[in-house]
Chains A and B, each alone.
Chain A
Amino acid sequence: MINSRFFNRSELLGFLALAVLLLLILPLSLDIFRLNLVAKYLTYAFVGIGLVLCWGYGGILSLGQGVFFGLGGYCMAMYLKLEASSVANTKIQSTPGIPDFMDWNQLTSLPFFWKPFHSFPVTLLAILLVPAFFALIIGAAMFKRRVGGVYFAIITQAIAAILTILIVGQQGYTGGINGITDLRTLHGWDIRTDHAKFILYFVEVVLLFGCIVAAQFIRLTKLGRILVAMREQEDRVRFSGYSVANFKIFAFCAAAVFAAIGGAMFTLEVGFMSPSFVGIVPSIEMVIYTAVGGRMSIFGAVWGALLVNFAKTSLSESFPQLWLFGLGALFIAVVLAFPNGLSGIWADHIQPRIDRLLSSRKSKSATGMIADGAPAE
């Protein structure tokens, strides 16, 4: 029967391969600097998983996932910044106890929306709920009015641009263009040490696997099938008794929450958050990672984030001017030649060959006869 197992054979192999790579090979073979880079790449994998659900399955292209990545990241950064801005640490300021950039901007008290971020549990909730709520508002405003396709994509871009301008403009409240920097401890635990970075890497990988399982769960429910159905025949879904807008809102909110978890981990791994991870360019890059990995594959999105970022780091170290052209060319190549990205190449070209090899070996050993490598096509 179809869909009777949580992971089919090739998905299980994909899951195990990723687990071995991320939990064994990389931590054992990379120094802490490189491992921290991998951790940074993986934060985009969270965004990619959300995009697979929202864009690959639901057909809703969002070019503004940086907004949610940023919201998650800023929520975490606000908590860390408040912890780093204790009265003892900031006694040279004219107003001790508030973040340094507020003091530079002549603020004399903590703004009201910063106050909840003194509490760690509230911060954790905010990382999930603030982006979800924001996505809910955008989604309700757009999808209930049947704004979709390219118009929706453009509006998400505009929102990414607006949020960037807002953050940069409101320097006293947000840290402006520099972002929120000089973060030190998480609930009293110093996050700047190599040891902390090592631990955080594993925390992130475990969270990533949690998100993969959650996304896989959504994909396998009837909701996952309705997303596919909606992408193809929106009207037929509507006339089967479903409120298409509500399903789109759900997919968009889910993608926002995944992106926000990635953003919060980014703040922890990299040690700061700034508007340069919120705007149009990072948002589009996130879509490219997903497209390269394969927008129909949850694992593909993870691989896409890892490989494209790895290429970005190595190429931009050697050819800093050429990297952006390379990224653009990669995106065009993927869209034109491999619409399902790396996971599509794997599923269409590599997997069948492996299967053929395995089955021919199996039949060889089972019957002792020489099996034909390739069955007639």
Chain B
Amino acid sequence: MLVGHQPKEFLLAVSGLTVSFDGFKAVNDLSFYVEENEIRVIIGPNGAGKTTVLDLICGKTRATSGSIQFRGQELTRLRENEIVQAGVGRKFQTPSVFEDLTVFENLEISFPRGRTVFGSLTFQRDDAVKQRVEEVAEMIFLKDRLNTYADQLSHGQKQWLEIGMLLIQDPDLLMLDEPVAGMSVSERAKTAELLNRIIKDRSVLVIEHDMKFVEDIAHKVTVLHQGQILSEGTMEHVKNDPKVIEVYLGH
């Protein structure tokens, strides 16, 4: 392949992606492209296959067919940890943090160094690690909770902690699954502020139901319905698409 002939350099190129669970096609011949520094929001009714798309990209679910190219690397052939190392970070819908470890230790585990067995045996908690952990802890409003065990945190704080763990990974593509779900109003506002800060300098793929939040951050919106793309474009375009109004926004 000649580089000069390539039409455009996409960070993430999903093409013809299909996954079927016992014959049911949760995602059906899906193609979409995410550019560098783009913030893409995926919306759609329940069961549209939104979370499955993220699962497919991060390797949690294996695709039946199709391809996912990230910086020219085929992700469908890589293991989960290799996909992370390639630069894709994933936040889950329910906060998944390590409750028996402190906030500091949670963040430290995500620090991208010493990820092999022997690397982690010889890992040193040096100043670079401490500084980065403290920096991120400040961003996620947990600076004075560093020595708190994560099971003592509130639901919202756990969500922040997990976002912080992704921040330390410093991924090129950040995938967030309903980051403000289940949060109180004030937590929601703080999270929006936090997300607005961390989405700089990277591409972000977000699933969210909160339309105000979507409008605030999205560069481009993809509407999924029954595993396929119903509409794609700016929020303005999508909002006025009669198909979208019928199946999703109209309700």
Contact = CB atoms under 8 A, between A and B. Distances in A.
A157 B24 CA distance: 38
A241 B84 contact: yes
Given A2-B147, A221-B120, A223-B121, A240 B96 contact: no
B201 interface: no
Contacts of A241: 81, 84-85, 110, 112, 115, 169
Contact of B96 (A222, A231, A236, A243): A236
A240 B57 CA distance: 15
B30 to A, nearest CB: 22
Given A2-B104, A221-B123, A239 B98 contact: no
A330 to B, nearest CB: 26
A236 B97 CA distance: 7
Contacts of B99: 232
Contacts of A225: 101, 105, 108-109
Contact of A240 (B101, B116, B123, B165): B165
B79 interface: yes
A238 interface: yes
Contacts of B120: 221-223, 226, 242, 247
B80 interface: yes
A241 to B, nearest CB: 4
A233 B79 contact: no
Residue in A222, A233, A239, A242 with the greatest tally of chain B CB atoms within 10 Å: A239
Interface string A236-252: 11111111101100100
Contact of B169 (A222, A231, A237, A240): A240
Interface in A63-116: none
A218 interface: yes
A63 B89 CA distance: 36
B141 interface: no
A116 B41 CA distance: 65
The range of chain A's interface size is 20 to 34
A238 B98 CA distance: 13
B123 A246 contact: no
A124 interface: no
The 7 closest A-B pairs by CB, nearest first: A241-B84, A222-B123, A229-B98, A223-B120, A222-B120, A236-B96, A238-B80
A52 to B, nearest CB: 15
B200 interface: no
Contact of A239 (B58, B104, B116, B117): B58
B31 interface: no
Contacts of A226: 109, 120
Contact of B101 (A223, A229, A243): A229
Given A229-B109, A240-B165, A235 B101 contact: no
Contacts, number: 84
Given A229-B98, A243-B79, A223 B84 contact: no
A228 interface: yes
Nearest to B80: A238
Interface string B112-154: 1011110011110000000000000000000000010000000
B97 A233 contact: yes
B109 A222 contact: yes
B60 interface: yes
A2 B81 CA distance: 28
Nearest to A2: B147
A360 B109 CA distance: 39
A247 B109 contact: no
Given A225-B101, A236-B97, A250 B80 contact: no
Contacts of A231: 100
A218 B100 contact: no
30 contacts: A2-B102, A221-B121, A221-B122, A222-B114, A222-B120, A222-B121, A225-B105, A226-B109, A228-B100, A228-B101, A229-B109, A231-B100, A232-B99, A232-B100, A233-B97, A236-B97, A236-B98, A236-B162, A239-B58, A239-B92, A240-B109, A240-B165, A240-B169, A241-B84, A241-B110, A241-B112, A241-B169, A242-B81, A242-B115, A247-B120
Contacts of A222: 108-109, 114, 120-121, 123
A225 B116 CA distance: 13
Contacts of B50: none
Contacts of B79: 243
A219 to B, nearest CB: 11
Nearest to A223: B120
Contact of B81 (A228, A229, A233, A238): A238
Contacts of A223: 117, 120-121, 123
Nearest to A249: B117
Contacts of B96: 233, 235-236
Contacts of A229: 98, 101, 106, 109
A124 to B, nearest CB: 23
